[in-house]
Structure 1
Amino acid sequence: MDHHELILRRHDAAAALGMRAGIEPVYVASHADRIAVDPFSHPDRFWQRLVDMYAQAPGFVLVSGSIAGRLIGYGFGCTRSAERAAEIWSEIRAALPDLAIPAGPQPVFIFNEFAVHPGHQNRGYGRTILDALLAGRREPVANLFVRPENPARAHYLAWGWRKIAERKPFADSPTFDSLIKDLRVTANWTRAAAGSGGDGPGSDQVDGAPPAVQDSTGVEAFPPARKPKVVDPPAGSVAL
């Protein structure tokens, strides 16, 4: 297998919870600086949030990226129902008056977590996983949290995310910038297609890859040697 060949898979909650052996090393390596100084970022706390909160939310999905059979990155999120997303929409109206707001309540995709192993950063893999996670979403916008000092913040802004507020989702968590991305720009979203779902706070990790040219599906266009390979997935997972 070519060492640049990235394989993407989509996993439901049950499958994701069986992937700790693959997910946790990526989390630990990519969050090493925060784990050393912030109890909130401890791997056990991260996994407990995944088990107790994120994976329990309706619409949960995780996209993994693997090379040569080894997981090198992941991103996951869920849908917040229109009723529970009212505060986000209020913040959008106040912060982004230029953004066209749906007339009625709409759900929001909550982008919970995103990480790429440092040994595979700056190669475009993180952007690929993120675009695959967001591609085809029925919600009009996505929401994530990122620490203001995180270098990832500049990449999110370059990729079309916009700040709407500052939020502290847990009593012992840092204060994050709350960013949103208009998914209608890269997908044929319509109000009739929008669903409803669950809940969960946002993400604070991304690799350092620069923005990439996108095709019509919102997924990164690859040189032939780096085109993600489609494989037969395990139960609970779908090849992308």
Structure 2
Amino acid sequence: MMTEPESRIRRHITLTPELRAVIAKVYAEVRVDLLDQPNYRVGVFLERLDRHAAEPGWAVAMAYTMEGSAIGYAYANTIGPGDRWWKRMTVPVTPRFTARDTVAVKEIGVTPAYRGVGLARRMHDALLDGRAEPYATLMVNPAAGDGKVMRLYEGWGYREIGAVQPGPAAPWLVCMGRSVRT
């Protein structure tokens, strides 16, 4: 098994222009094979990032090499009971998740050279650390990595709670949830 190279995680709660540029650069490295697809273009991602960063409870956990190069990001924000996140589900989600504020993990990305060493989990855990919401949720394309990404999230304690197609150009996604404190 590979071991994680030395890295550090920093959490930010404000999207500055400088941080936005760093996240965009990392996103382009993470999604390089998908950038020609409409939903994955950098400009479309930045529109989503800007919208999410303006919502309550937004935070990002950034991973950096010891030399200071950004190599990953994970960001989330708070969603309330009536949020569009829940309204788009194909079946009603159990009230355990929808009756109160929940933290929605919106994006996790690790550059190719740093995948498979636990960095995504460290960023995810740093992102959820200290959150007031009792539950976390995320959406995943079940085909990503031939199903490996969904299995990874299951290993982190997430379970399927619904399905959604966020937009006409987006793939169908599985919504997963778990307790923030596992």
The alignment covers a number of residue pairs equal to 172
Structure having the higher strand fraction is: 2
CA-CA distance at 1:134 after TM superposition: 1.1
Letter in 1 for 2:94: I
Query: In 2, Cα distance between the equivalents of 1:135 and 1:169?
Result: 27
Q: Give the drift of 1:174.
A: 1.1
AA partner of residue 63 (structure 2): G
- 1:163-193 CA distance string (max 9 Å, x none): 1111011222111011111224x3xxxxxxx
Q: TM-score under structure 1 normalisation?
A: 0.65
Which consecutive residues of structure 1, in runs of 5 or more, have no partner in the other structure?
Answer: 94-100, 187-240
Q: Report percent identity of matched pairs.
A: 28
Asked if the contact 1:163–1:177 (Cα under 8 Å) also holds between the matched residues in 2, the reply is yes
Question: 2:27 matched to which residue of 1?
Answer: 27
> How far has the Cα of 1:14 moved from its partner?
3.2
The match for 1:91 is 93
How do residues 1-240 of structure 1 correspond to structure 2 at under 5 angstroms? 4-15=5-16, 17-36=17-36, 38-51=37-50, 53-67=51-65, 68-84=67-83, 90-92=92-94, 101=96, 105-150=99-144, 151-184=148-181, 186=182
Indicate if the aligned counterparts of 1:22 and 1:70 stay in contact, CA closer than 8 A.
Answer: no
Tell me the secondary structure at the aligned position of residue 114 of structure 1. strand
Quote the Cα distance in structure 2 between the aligned partners of 1:86 and 1:66.
33
Name the Cα RMSD after superposition.
Answer: 2.3
C-alpha distance in 1 between matches for 2:78 and 2:177 = 14
Q: Which residue of 2 aligns with 1:232?
A: none
SS in 2 for 1:106: coil
Does the Cα contact within 8 Å between 2:92 and 2:162 map onto a contact in 1?
no
Relative to 1, partners in 2 of residues 1:86 and 1:49: Cα closer, same or farther, differing over 3 Å? closer
2:129 partner amino acid: A
CA–CA distance in structure 2, aligned partners of residues 63 and 33 of structure 1 = 23
Alpha-carbon distance in structure 2 between the residues aligned to 1:158 and 1:14: 30
Residue deviations 1:65-103, cap 9 Å, x none? 10111011110010012343765794135xxxxxxx38x
Give, as a single letter, the amino acid of the residue that structure 1 aligns with 2:139: F
Aligned equivalents of 1:23 and 1:119: distance in 2? 16
- More relative contact order, 1 or 2 (CA 8 Å, 6+ apart): 1
Question: Which of these two proteins has the greater Rg computed from alpha carbons?
Answer: 1
